[in-house]
Amino acid sequence: MRTLLPYLALYRRHGGQLTLGVLLAIITLLASIGLLTLSGLFLAGAATAGAAGLYSFNYMLPAAGVRGAAITRTAGRWAERVVSHDATFRVLQHLRLYTFSRILPLSPGATARLRRGELLNRLVADVDTLDHLYLRVISPLAGALVVTLTVSAALCLLDPRAGLTLGAIMLAILALLPPLFYRAGKPVGEALTALRADYRLQLTAWLSGNAELTLYGAAERYRHRLEATEQRWQALQRRQSGLGAGAQSLLLGLTGLTLTWVLWQVAGDGPSGPLIALFAFATLAAFEALGPVAVAFQHLGQVIACAVRLNALVQQPPEVIFPAAGPAPAAGGALVVRRVRFHYPEQVAPAIDDLTLAVAAGEHIALLGHTGSGKSTLLQLLTRAWDPQEGEIKLNDVPLREWSESALRAMTAVVEQRVHIFSATLRDNLRLAAPDADDEQLCTVVRQVGLDKLLTGEGLNAWLGEGGRALSGGEQRRMCIARALLRDAPLWLLDEPTEGLDAVTEQQILHLLGTLGQGRTVIIVTHRLRGLERLDRICILDRGTLIEQGSHQALMAQRGRYYHYHRPVEVY
């Protein structure tokens, strides 16, 4: 249960609303019990009075009580659903924010070890399961406890022995049944959580790699493996449903035994006549409050298993720790990389090996090299996604480790290989880079990157859809460049900024970067050779080491690696 403590602490932020939801649930339960009890008493009293009681029996008072209980139950049920679900959604919102805020500093160090889709599964499915804690455990248990004490106290006024008997039995059931079915359901819940995650990971891998699986004739075999996992998942769900049915059956049997015992006590020397029906219906109605409790604690094992999975992720120490304070952002961005060595976790070969590189403020350079030569890794080191194991990186003569995260982010504008377009408007997607930019600035930068057609129709209010499905790959790339242009940052780090663009658009973008990048330090990682003659320097990397550097003309004259890149094809 300690596993749940960090998440229970979040519930206190909405303690008032959650408590109100529990109170409304209790009022609804008591109104339901009152409705059934008064109805039984009314019918039994009317039947006992018969025709002779047509003028002597008080029909109005019980009828008014039944109507009042019915109205209270209906209004209470509606209000409880509104309050409880609103509170649950608010808690779920904070659970997601809490989890995401703990995961963000871990990226990419700790998250890189997770398989594709596993991080999303923990952030969405596991967090969603945690909301069962209130709706299926806390609220039903609190309601059942209060109802048990209230009904028992009320019946004690009429027959102390019968009231105490009912209260003792219900409290014993509340004390014994939940732990019993928690123990029985815990292994199933843990296995369900693991299988659900495994199935979704396999499904994600199958969907993303379907072309390759089909090409190599492995699609059918992978599909059978996915179906086998699904069948095991469904078998565990059936087992959990069986436990739920067993809990309800046991509770139904205990209800019958308790009812028999209470009636036996009342029929002896207790109340007589219609009051016997009152005890019978009150007992039946009170046991209805125990129904959700017996089933709820099966899910507690699944909730705890999800909390364990989340804690295993969010409680990891981050690979990179930023200081709280540091130098203020400056106008220039001079970089020095000295004797840097870096290798990814669980990899022996270094991605960056004894690299030394100096970039003056305002200089424009390109990083070239084959795939895996360390170009993108170097950009990640410059943004402190990772820290090198050896060597030092300085920005404006200050070690990168001494910069606060806010200052370092203010100093850099980054265009990554993977472009993220959010399901929002064009304006919202652009303002991620510059929240204070007005519409005129946004329209200007959209035109600069050649996306004029996006301004037709709805303009900046155009909805881009999930992942920017309305945009081509080249348009998404230009959207990312537009964000970089909106950043008033002295250091631009561009990873394949012209990938997916045609030759004409590529020249326009390179010219735009050269023009607007005047006075800024620009580092471009690229595989393409067009337009590099405009840059101040070209650096060739191989196996994480700098092997050549110089201007286009100087490197062509050396007839080295850069020269051979131009010989067979223009783009290698």
How far apart CA 18 and CA 88 sit, in angstroms, is: 8
Domain ranges within the chain, ordered by starting residue: 2-314, 335-566
Separate counts of helices (H) and strands (E) for the chain: 20, 10
For residue 540, what pLDDT band results from cuts at 50, 70 and 90?
very high
How far apart CA 226 and CA 195 sit, in angstroms, is: 11
Domain 335-566 has CATH 3.40.50.300: yes
pLDDT at 110: 67
pLDDT in tens, 392-447: 999 988 999 999 988 998 899 888 888 888 888 889 989 988 888 888 999 998 88
pLDDT at 568: 55
Please give the DSSP secondary-structure letter assigned to residue 55: T
Query: Contact at 8 Å (CB) between 484 and 413?
Result: yes
pLDDT in tens, 182-236: 888 888 888 888 888 888 888 888 888 888 888 888 888 888 999 999 999 899 8
> Does residue 153 surpass a pLDDT of 80?
yes
pLDDT at 571: 43
pLDDT, mean of residues 540-566: 88
Q: Which of 40-49, 169-178, 482-491 has the lowest mean pLDDT?
A: 40-49
How far apart CA 128 and CA 119 sit, in angstroms, is: 14
Nearest to 369 by CA among 529, 564, 542, 497: 542
3 state DSSP class of 211: helix
pLDDT at 570: 45
pLDDT in tens, 368-388: 988 888 888 999 899 988 889
pLDDT at 562: 87
pLDDT in tens, 69-109: 899 999 999 998 999 888 888 888 888 888 888 888 877 76
- Report the topology of domain 2-314: ABC transporter transmembrane region fold (1.20.1560)
pLDDT, mean of residues 8-16: 80
pLDDT, mean of residues 138-155: 89
For residue 271, what pLDDT band results from cuts at 50, 70 and 90?
low
- Percentages of the chain per state (helix, strand, coil), in multiples of 5: 65, 10, 25
pTM: 0.72
pLDDT, mean of residues 269-290: 81
Q: Say yes or no: do domains 2-314 and 335-566 share a fold.
A: no
DSSP element (H, E) containing 130: helix 127-130
Q: E-assigned strands of 307-465? A: 335-342, 352-359, 364-368, 390-395, 398-399, 412-415
Q: E-assigned strands of 498-536? A: 521-525
Query: Contact at 8 Å (CB) between 122 and 198?
Result: no
